[in-house]
């Protein structure tokens, strides 16, 4: 799926299943503004979006537990290098951002011998008419982050807003975030909220 009409159709299908605009943007690996554009334009429109975004499909990894494990091992190596460069200890808990960060965080936590916590980001609750007071939350069936050092795992950075919101929430919950690690960074971000951000790949519109 790489055509604008296909993405717009898929966005509307996800909406019909009850997903929020924020959840749709997460599912399509695009920004919230791009997801909103897909939802508010007719599929037959010839208009090209004025927004600059990059559609990423990493399903060939996500469908294979073995490939996920190998990618998580590579992320773990990147995390350990970054922690060593910054003279930081290994984390006590690895925090996966729902949804796509969850399997990666689980494998990374296993390799690091750390607890695993799962966070539903503020983004998933987002709709354009809201006032922005909504907040993400930690899933209660997994590890607490209170009083623990943490590493944040997600799949893709588009604007950095989700990572920023999640880092702020982790601190509010009593955690000390050491770094964030992702598969792909669309924005070339190296630091958010004074926390190092590392990615396996960086993409840019040229």
Query: For residues 6 and 194, which has the higher predicted lDDT (pLDDT)?
Result: 194
DSSP state of 44: T
Share of the chain above pLDDT 70, in %: 90
Tokens 């604007």: give the residue: 159
- Using one digit for the tens of pLDDT, what is the confidence trace for 84-96? 999 999 999 999 9
Supply the pLDDT for residue 1.
45
What is the location of CATH 3.40.50.2020 in the chain? 59-202
Supply the pLDDT for residue 31.
80
59-202, which class in CATH? Answer: alpha beta
Supply the pLDDT for residue 24.
83
- Using one digit for the tens of pLDDT, what is the confidence trace for 165-189? 999 999 999 999 999 999 999 888 9
* Helix extents (H) in the chain: 4-16, 21-28, 32-40, 59-62, 65-85, 101-112, 161-172
Exposed, middle or buried: residue 170 (CB in 10 Å: 0-12, 13-18, 19+)? buried
pLDDT level of residue 151 (50, 70, 90 thresholds): very high
Supply the pLDDT for residue 154.
95
- Using one digit for the tens of pLDDT, what is the confidence trace for 60-76? 999 999 999 999 999 99
Task: Specify the pairing of strand 149-157 against strand 137-138.
Answer: unpaired
Torsion of CA 121, 127, 132, 136, to 10 degrees: -20
Supply the pLDDT for residue 129.
66
pTM of the model: 0.82
Supply the pLDDT for residue 95.
98
Supply the pLDDT for residue 46.
55
Share of the chain above pLDDT 90, in %: 56
pLDDT level of residue 8 (50, 70, 90 thresholds): confident
- Using one digit for the tens of pLDDT, what is the confidence trace for 21-80? 888 888 888 887 888 888 887 755 555 556 677 888 888 999 999 999 999 999 999 999
Classify the C-alpha dihedral 43-44-48-50 as positive or negative.
Answer: negative
């Amino acid at each position: 799926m790489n055509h604008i009409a296909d993405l717009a159709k898929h966005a509307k299908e996800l909406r019909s299943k009850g997903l929020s605009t924020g959840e749709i943007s997460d599912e399509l690996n695009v920004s919230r503004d791009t997801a909103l554009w897909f939802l508010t334009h007719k599929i037959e429109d010839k208009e090209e979006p004025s927004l600059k975004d990059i559609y990423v499909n990493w399903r060939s990894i996500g469908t294979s537990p073995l490939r996920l494990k190998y990618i998580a091992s590579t992320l773990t190596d990147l995390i350990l290098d970054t922690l060593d460069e910054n003279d930081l200890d290994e984390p006590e808990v690895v925090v996966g951002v729902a949804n796509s960060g969850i399997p990666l965080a689980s494998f990374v936590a296993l390799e690091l011998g750390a607890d695993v916590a799962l966070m539903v980001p503020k983004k998933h609750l987002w709709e354009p008419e809201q006032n922005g007071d909504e907040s993400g939350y930690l899933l209660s069936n997994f590890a607490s982050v209170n009083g623990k050092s943490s590493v944040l795992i997600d799949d893709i950075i588009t604007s950095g807003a989700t990572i920023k919101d999640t880092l702020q929430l982790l601190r509010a919950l009593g955690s000390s975030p050491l770094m964030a690690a992702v598969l792909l960074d669309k924005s070339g971000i190296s630091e958010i909220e004074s926390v190092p951000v590392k990615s396996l790949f960086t993409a840019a519109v040229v």
